[in-house]
């Protein structure tokens, strides 16, 4: 699992480095990730914030467009940007749709886009073949996908391991997680399920426009029916933030969610943050522990994320530097 | 020249709006631009900063990746992001190269890229057909290009006109300009030539990694030989920042330039900021009027731009809000 450095760009006095390695979790496929290492790391190990990107994205979207690096540089926090999906598994049917598996052809990355409609066309995303991905941050149990679609293990276990083995100056005992849309679902579920397992891998979680109750929305239903042998029922146990928050032991949690009122996916019922909020309040979590903010007039794009990006980094800094 | 609104995204409490119109300057081709209008504009007209993007870019790169919008929102300054080139002129040979005319096929936008090499491949940029452009911010005199390649008129005259006609809340008497690489060349030459013409259209200029002496570098030579009947000699009169600064009347100027020492195009002699600096000092401009900063370890990417983006917006705010 040796890391191969693909590129390094100096940014805000730190470095944004892109690595590639042979991923065991993803069935021996090549996996890329970006990691921002702040200048502070020259003085000792730094805490880390994991950013999970949304449908159709790669490890690049958050690094390039979210506005996290300036605030992270100031706080002395590293940011890990994993990819969203295994690439090149070659499973039959995996690239038929843009919101399931991986897709090579679609006009403009959904999350990069300025336009608000999704247009299908024989055009590749961001100039990178296979740049679209919908791994849903789970471990597949459907035999067709279980060899490769294990983004949960990839993000929670494999990446921390390879990064530590490579000797990068990261202290994984101070780790938090955030994400956007499908990545918001990933961040919330990985955070909550690690509490269930008693591991408490992450100190805090935040999300932009997360898919908050995926067993009740078309994106989630499609993913779970495809990746999981037990389908939506199996997903309720592990992969639905609303289900998880309603069953969680009364541990202190640190959760921040922002979504925009002009988000078309909110209007289409794909996100359902209101379900998550209700479940959290019903379970007795107050506004200090679970904060869900409705942001007037904002949509699903990286313009929205960049507006509140600094806010989220500072939220996590409270816990990472405590 | 009516404006058609293509999209609008709320960002930092303002709006990033994409418009399309039939451009007379570009020979009746459709032209897009983005404009960021800060929330301040609800209380009255705001000053404007024009950002010219580099080779291979569109009106989107700066809006999405440069980190200008947060600082501009705080200062109450609008930002105009024109495209870099006419699109769809259909001139024979115009899409043969990535650094001349427009190109439809190249791997990953040169300026979006994380990788440091330019790879040619039959893959479209950013999923948008014809997204690559090398208009060089001049008015072509070669008969083959003169109908369409008039980015100078497009940026300096046509866009202010159509924006004012549309009634957008912009005060063009308070206007400054900046840009990156080819767009840095554009910003410097439009600023300096407006001083020559006694118009003083722009209050200040800044540039990231500008092509500073294009009559002496391969990119400039190629562009000028193609677009101008008089080739490189004709360009010296109007389109070379180093030539212009050495001949300019002793007016006060406000110029800021940043470039990175790890910039491969700097090493290849495409940028030559040292020539511009020497010409400025020889002409008697001191460090207050012409500031050229070498930034250690930074490259040509938007990671570099985003690091110093807020700095540049604040530099211009000094003059726009004076």
Whole-angstrom Cα distance, residue B290 to residue A186?
49
pLDDT at residue A109, as a whole number: 34
- B181 labelled catalytic: yes
Residue B111 to chain A, least CA–CA distance (Å): 11
Domain count within chain A: 1
- The pLDDT confidence band at residue B229, using thresholds 50, 70 and 90, is very high
Contacts for B8 with CB less than 8 Å, ≥ 6 apart: B15, B16, B17, B18
Taking CA atoms, A185 is separated from A230, A298, A320, in Å, by 19, 19, 21
Domain membership of residue B115 (yes or no) is: no
Inspect the interface and report whether the beta carbons of B108 and A125 lie closer than 8 Å. Answer: no
Low-confidence ranges of chain A (pLDDT < 70): 1, 92-133
Domain ranges, residue A170: 4-320
Which residues on chain A are in Cβ contact (under 8 Å) with B307?
10-13, 70
Contact call for residues A32 and A58 (beta carbons, < 8 A): yes
* Strand locations in A140-236 (E): 170-180, 205-208
What percent of chain B shows pLDDT beyond 70?
87
pLDDT at residue B100, as a whole number: 62
Residue B137 to chain A, least CA–CA distance (Å): 25
Residues A241-288 have pLDDT tens digits of: 999 999 998 778 999 999 999 999 999 999 999 999 999 999 999 999
Mean pLDDT for chain B?
A: 88
Domain membership of residue B75 (yes or no) is: yes
pLDDT at residue A134, as a whole number: 77
Inspect the interface and report whether the beta carbons of A13 and B307 lie closer than 8 Å. Answer: yes
- The pLDDT confidence band at residue B137, using thresholds 50, 70 and 90, is very high
Interhelix angle for B231-238 vs B218-227, to 10°? 100
Domain harbouring A49, CATH code: 3.40.50.1820
Q: Which of A128, A132, A139 has its CA nearest to residue A234?
A: A139
Residues B23-82 have pLDDT tens digits of: 999 999 999 999 999 999 999 999 999 999 988 778 888 999 999 999 999 999 999 999
The residues of A that are catalytic are 181, 263, 300
Chain A residue set in contact with B, beta carbons under 8 Å: 6-7, 9-13, 16, 18, 34, 60, 63-65, 67, 69-70, 106-109, 112, 114-116, 123-129, 260, 262, 297-299, 301-304, 306-307, 310
Whole-angstrom Cα distance, residue B65 to residue B93?
31
Residues A209-237 have pLDDT tens digits of: 999 999 999 999 989 998 999 999 999 99
Torsion angle of C-alpha atoms B53, B39, B75, B301, degrees rounded to 10: -30
Residues B81-118 have pLDDT tens digits of: 999 888 877 776 665 655 666 543 332 333 333 222 22
Domain membership of residue B237 (yes or no) is: yes
């Amino acid at each position: 699992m040796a890391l191969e450095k693909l590129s390094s760009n100096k940014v805000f006095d730190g470095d944004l480095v892109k690595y590639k390695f042979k991923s065991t979790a993803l069935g021996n496929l090549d996996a890329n990730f970006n990691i921002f290492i702040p200048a502070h790391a020259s003085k000792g190990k730094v805490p880390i914030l994991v950013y999970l990107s949304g449908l159709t994205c790669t490890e690049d979207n958050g690094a390039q467009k979210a506005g996290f690096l300036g605030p992270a540089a100031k706080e002395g926090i590293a940011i890990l940007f994993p990819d969203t999906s295994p690439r090149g598994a070659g499973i039959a049917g995996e690239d038929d749709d843009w919101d399931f598996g991986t897709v090579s052809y679609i006009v403009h990355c959904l999350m990069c886009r300025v336009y608000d409609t999704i247009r299908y066309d024989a055009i590749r995303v961001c100039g990178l073949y296979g740049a679209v991905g919908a791994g849903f941050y789970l471990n597949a149990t459907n035999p067709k996908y279980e060899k490769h679609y294990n983004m949960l293990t990839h993000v929670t276990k494999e990446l921390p391991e390879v990064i530590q083995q490579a000797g990068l100056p990261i202290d994984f005992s101070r780790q938090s997680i955030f994400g956007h849309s499908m990545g918001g679902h990933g961040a919330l579920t990985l955070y909550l399920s690690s509490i269930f397992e008693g591991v408490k891998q992450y100190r805090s979680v935040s999300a932009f426009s997360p898919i908050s109750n995926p067993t009740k929305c078309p994106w989630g239903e499609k993913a779970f029916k495809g990746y999981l042998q037990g389908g939506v029922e199996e997903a309720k146990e592990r992969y639905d933030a609303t289900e998880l928050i309603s069953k969680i032991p009364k541990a202190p949690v640190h959760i921040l969610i922002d979504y925009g009122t002009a988000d078309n996916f909110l209007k289409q019922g794909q996100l359902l943050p209101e379900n998550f909020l209700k479940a959290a309040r019903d379970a007795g979590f107050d506004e200090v522990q679970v904060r869900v903010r409705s942001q007037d007039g904002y949509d699903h794009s990286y313009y929205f994320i960049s507006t509140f990006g600094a806010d989220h980094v500072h939220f996590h800094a409270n816990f990472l530097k405590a």
